[in-house]
Amino acid sequence: MPWTLDDYPSSLKNLDKVVRKKAIDIANSMLDEGYEEDRAIPIATSQAKEWYDNASQSEINEYENSGKPSKRSKEGKKYENNPERLEEGEQVVTHDDGWAVKSSNAKRPSDVYDNKDDAIKRAREIAKNKGTKLTIYKQDGSVQKNESY
């Protein structure tokens, strides 16, 4: 079920309005990717709170004024081939713009960071949420470290 600011899980009711909006956006996206509702809600809540804690006031204001949370497509999952991504491990690899975070079989990264530590932090968070593994690569392409969650 797609959620809106008028219709959302009761577990989100005590969140600050902008955090709730972010959690709804994240949860709707997770449902599109194949997550079950009972997994998506706590993960989205945690990620929305973390975003709020780390975002600048201008980012928060911009997001708050950006309109309604995104709606899910009527067909259900936006990416029919992505539920298997839930089983794939995450990787931190070099990228032209710094360090990329991507699922092990993905063609494109989900995020790119200037700093390797930031990329590792994000990849670790994703791997923990999915219960998979994390592979961190060195600049030369060799494996630096493997972690399992």
Q: Confidence band (pLDDT; 50, 70, 90) for 33?
A: confident
Structural contact between residues 90 and 134, judged by C-beta atoms closer than 8 angstroms: yes
Q: Confidence band (pLDDT; 50, 70, 90) for 1?
A: low
- C-alpha to C-alpha distance for 130 and 121, rounded to whole angstroms: 14
Lowest mean pLDDT among 17-21, 44-48, 72-76: 72-76
- Alpha helix ranges (H) inside 4-72: 17-32, 37-54, 57-64
- At residue 138, the pLDDT reads 95
Q: Which residue has the higher pLDDT, 149 or 120?
A: 120
What is the DSSP secondary structure assignment for residue 22, as one 8-state letter?
A: H
pLDDT in tens, 45-74: 999 999 999 889 988 888 888 776 654 444
Q: Which residue has the higher pLDDT, 81 or 126?
A: 126
- C-alpha to C-alpha distance for 41 and 38, rounded to whole angstroms: 6
Report which residue type is found at 72: R
Please give the full DSSP string across 54-92, using - where no structure is assigned: HS-HHHHHHHHTS-SPPPPBTTB-S-TT-GGGGGSPEEE
pLDDT in tens, 93-135: 999 989 999 988 788 888 899 999 999 999 998 888 878 899 9
